[in-house]
Structure 1
């Protein structure tokens, strides 16, 4: 008889969600974590970043409050901001540990290695190795930051998001951020709100290059108004330490230029992480640089499954959590309860960005007849009150069936509104069905009605 019916490796969103679901379904479950429960998202990613963004937004709003009658001297303490960030993570970690304990999931501290099908060795901080057996093993080992081989990228003062989020009591006068994706634009927002001189460098033609082009273009305009220097189509060639700081050498449209900052953040992306997870004689099949899994999340090693960033093309915490639940339900004979084809994504810039499904251009590239409807929030009362900059909502529907197949929102609280568009897609709702919904006034959400009206008019 095995020690456990399921042993989960990695206590991030995918891992702990899977462990909790397994325990609820009656499986004797353990979870192994070498660092803190909650994984990257809770400790070095989503939650710390959003906590800091909240703190900087509070300062920025107060510092720029003259137009609404808020005046007075104001300052911020970077050390206290990072202490607040740590306290939020600690509180949430405690909540996860409490849930695992209540569910009777054994939490094993150490580094896990799959030594054979059904066998895992866990090495503790003191070097002690303990062997466990399990009927099934689930790898949820996440991802790590990418550091490309650019000369000078290993200089002191060049950080990844992990290192930056460790915190400092001293504000930076200037920072160069390499990478205009989600991580880059969120940190550009944070530092610019605090008055730091920010240079944001992106190799592609637009910020957020994986999203609708208008989102990246609009965000670049807003960041520039906030004082951020935005350089697109700019490739980093090398870095060097100078008397003025870290000098980043770039090539932009055939021309060489340099930018300098006190610090440099490398935010180019993340890659699947499973180094040392398998014993040397175990060689799982790969899908590029990720673990290859089938529709039930099984790897090529018998009894070993994988979810989240280690195997998924989309590296998002809620994708990992949904896969964790889906995987365990399939293990127990179910079919899974979440539609994994509809994946919302959010960027916590100012204003927020949230997207789901296809853009009109992507749909047409796939041969899908599509049309989009759009609403700019110039006359939306809540948007006029808060004045976050140009905001818009764009909805995409099939022109034959009228079903909603995509949405791109750039406005306040976009992350809280995107799920109703995801709901529409999962349930194959049409634009006209969305139009029948009464939305409250005054709210940001009521602008959706105008976007749907524009869309239905084009579908007529």
Structure 2
């Protein structure tokens, strides 16, 4: 096997494998090193399996409630093992596709644990074998691993992280989820749909604290409606083993509380995966737990780059992908047009949640003059046809120029529709620019027009506000 390359990518997650393929397309002799499966956490233990399970959960719920549409289904049930098989089949097909793409583009695939050594050498260990490779440029793309809270009892059996949860062969009877971020609320949605008793404990005053306040409040109500017990402003104190499971002790607004469950899931975020990444004598600048990089994602070692969860505050697969493509284009002489300052965020609950740009609250804190348009989806024909959960689309525009600054959506197909606002913000489009588009009827998408019209209070399917006498 060849030992010298133009580019070595360490980590075959979304950012890594895309960077390797793009580099190879541009003529770089490229190798990629992965100690597990291609696709990384996103494909194997994160985004894709979670969304597959959410799809199954939503389908099960929809069939059970089909009577609303005049359709009757008796003795509706689910087989968890079959759901897991469906999840694994989905992941397998995507892995096979990635492997085929890497091979077809001439990327050398190396299996093993990679370590960055001095002078841009990379050692790869597999079993008892150690091989050394050399590259002109190296991209570090090893992603992140689940975080834990250092509380008493955090090492006992029965504690799970988001990756462990996919290894369970049976649906938990009860589950305490510690953490009300994206992972926590999506898992609450999945397992509450499969009749698991869910208790969610979040330290912050609200769930998904980085999202719009109104969305967070609506999500809390939606979860409670689905039978999830939600505690915010609550700090986990300790965990104890019981005969039938685990007991969590926590404090809510100064009041001591406790709850028991079969399992406890830690969904308190993820931290950069740098364990074993650096060899003896390799000194690289860090920014806390993250690897420090410049505007071009280059580390303090010239020719060594770090992307995705290793170096970014935004831990999203599409962010890592864009960064990987940017570096590969730079190294191979390609053209990059991505605006990496505008990254949308999505949550796949029901209804879906999506956000891009700034929120109304952030605009206020930044003393930015804004106008806000909001459309309640109960006035949308497609939403009524589908009997979807009540939601809304909110648009934030600059108060003087009309330029779109942000959008928050909580409705069916929100994760698909947010792309339209991402394009608008990236290209500095105004409300009037977006209103030039005629959107088809009946669609969820036509609600975007209503929200834009409401910036000036002109929404056609919105009741006019009563004038004060």
TM class, shorter-chain normalised? over 0.9
TM-superposed CA distance for 1:456, in Å, is: 3.4
Alignment of 1:41-440 (within 5 A): 41-68=42-69, 69-124=71-126, 126-168=127-169, 170-333=170-333, 336-440=336-440
Kept in 2: contact 1:82–1:167 (CA 8 A): no
The aligned counterpart of 2:467 is: none
TM-superposed CA distance for 1:243, in Å, is: 3.3
Instruction: State the TM-score, normalizing by the size of structure 2.
Output: 0.95
Kept in 2: contact 1:117–1:302 (CA 8 A): no
The aligned counterpart of 1:36 is: 37
1:444 equivalent in alignment to 2:444: yes
Kept in 2: contact 1:218–1:390 (CA 8 A): no
> C-alpha deviations, 1:179-238, integer Å up to 9, x for none?
110000000000111111111111111110111111110011011111111111111101
> C-alpha deviations, 1:291-338, integer Å up to 9, x for none?
011111111112211111001110000000000001111223456321
TM-superposed CA distance for 1:2, in Å, is: 7.1
Kept in 1: contact 2:23–2:331 (CA 8 A): no
Between Structure 1 and Structure 2, how many residues are aligned? 457
State the 4+ residue runs in structure 1 displaced beyond 6 angstroms: none
Kept in 1: contact 2:158–2:245 (CA 8 A): no
Kept in 1: contact 2:181–2:207 (CA 8 A): yes
Query: Matches of 2:242 and 2:117 in 1, distance apart?
Result: 48
1:9 equivalent in alignment to 2:41: no
Query: Matches of 1:4 and 1:431 in 2, distance apart?
Result: 49
Query: Matches of 2:186 and 2:29 in 1, distance apart?
Result: 40
Kept in 1: contact 2:26–2:334 (CA 8 A): no
Query: Matches of 2:308 and 2:448 in 1, distance apart?
Result: 32
TM-superposed CA distance for 1:254, in Å, is: 0.7
SS of 1:440's equivalent?
coil
Kept in 1: contact 2:380–2:447 (CA 8 A): yes
Aligned CA-pair RMSD: 1.5
TM-superposed CA distance for 1:171, in Å, is: 1.9
Instruction: State the TM-score, normalizing by the size of structure 1.
Output: 0.97
TM-superposed CA distance for 1:173, in Å, is: 1.3
Kept in 2: contact 1:297–1:306 (CA 8 A): yes
Query: Matches of 1:242 and 1:274 in 2, distance apart?
Result: 35
Kept in 2: contact 1:117–1:303 (CA 8 A): no
SS of 2:117's equivalent?
strand
SS of 2:251's equivalent?
strand
Kept in 2: contact 1:431–1:456 (CA 8 A): no
Query: Matches of 1:103 and 1:152 in 2, distance apart?
Result: 49
TM-superposed CA distance for 1:417, in Å, is: 0.5
TM-superposed CA distance for 1:108, in Å, is: 0.3
TM-superposed CA distance for 1:251, in Å, is: 0.2
